[in-house]
Amino acid sequence: MSDPSPAVDPHAADATPAADVRLPVPSSADADAEIRYVDSCELPTPWATFRLHGFIDPASGKEHVALTLGDLDDGEPVLARVHSECLTGDAFFSQRCDCGAQLEEALRRIATEGRGIVLYLRQEGRGIGLINKIRAYHLQDAGADTVQANEDLGFAADQRHYGLCQPMLAHFGVGALRLMTNNPAKVVALQKLGVQVPERISILVGHNPSNQRYLATKREKLGHVIGLPAE
């Protein structure tokens, strides 16, 4: 399933800067913020051999990566996923969320199409970090939902930021995405940065008995477009 979304003209940028160069990050909070591209390597996966690219955000010291496949700088919208780190789901196969299944499905779809990109951003737990995520899970074990738990710890429901996406995409000459997400707010955030998103593509995978309340909360409180099996 896909939804058309109004596009915004992308910012012009050099498509192929040299390794270890710094790219500007559009940010109202810090106009001088920048991201540094470091290096890349081949990454064989069960679906295809991707190219893994490393970036560093000097402001935070965080390391972010992009996985790419095929030619991306032909001006056509690129099949993409902007994925926030979820150690529990991506690496430990947690059934509390759908994150790992979404990442795997995104890579599979890109491999099938032969062209695409995944931006993997280090903002665990919707931006609260791994240890606070464990604390939030403890609160959920006691009855809080995923939004209540974050708020009870003193955080916003969703603290993620997407300012790094535009310069990361510009590095590859990408200005328009066919974005795999169930979150319309992510589409809006990218459009405000000047990234065109002419199509939102649903990625409804990984539903199981352990994450039904989590998914229902994301739909009801965070506006995600999710149909649950019982419906």
Find, among 93, 95, 148, the residue nearest to 126 by Cα. 148
Q: Tell me if 53 sits within 8 A of 106, measured CB to CB.
A: no
Is the Cα torsion angle 172, 175, 179, 185 positive or negative in sign? positive
Q: Give the span between the Cα atoms of 179 and 137, in whole angstroms.
A: 28
Which residues are the active-site residues? 158, 160
Find, among 60, 70, 66, the residue nearest to 27 by Cα. 60
Most confident of 18-27, 103-112, 124-133, 156-165: 103-112
Output the pLDDT for position 229: 56
Q: Please, what is the end-to-end C-alpha distance for the chain in angstroms?
A: 16
On the question of pLDDT at 55 being above 80, the answer is yes
Residues 162-204 have pLDDT tens digits of 989 999 999 999 999 999 999 999 999 999 999 999 999 999 9
Amino acid identity of 171? Answer: H
Output the pLDDT for position 29: 40
Output the pLDDT for position 26: 41
Q: What is the pTM of this model?
A: 0.83
Output the pLDDT for position 139: 95
Instruction: Give the domains, in start order, of the chain with CATH numbers.
Output: 2-122+160-222 (3.40.50.10990), 124-159 (no CATH)
On the question of pLDDT at 61 being above 60, the answer is yes
Longest Cα–Cα distance in the chain: 51
Q: Tell me if 137 sits within 8 A of 92, measured CB to CB.
A: no
Stretch 90-101: mean pLDDT, rounded? Answer: 95
Q: Tell me if 117 sits within 8 A of 215, measured CB to CB.
A: no
Q: Which residue has 């290096």 as its token pair?
A: 39
On the question of pLDDT at 127 being above 60, the answer is yes
Output the pLDDT for position 35: 87
Stretch 106-117: mean pLDDT, rounded? Answer: 98
Residues 9-42 have pLDDT tens digits of 333 233 333 334 433 344 444 334 478 999 999 9
- 6/105: higher pLDDT: 105
Amino acid identity of 83? Answer: H
On the question of pLDDT at 227 being above 80, the answer is no
Mean pLDDT of the chain: 85
Output the pLDDT for position 111: 98
Output the pLDDT for position 228: 62
Amino acid identity of 126? Answer: R
On the question of pLDDT at 50 being above 60, the answer is yes
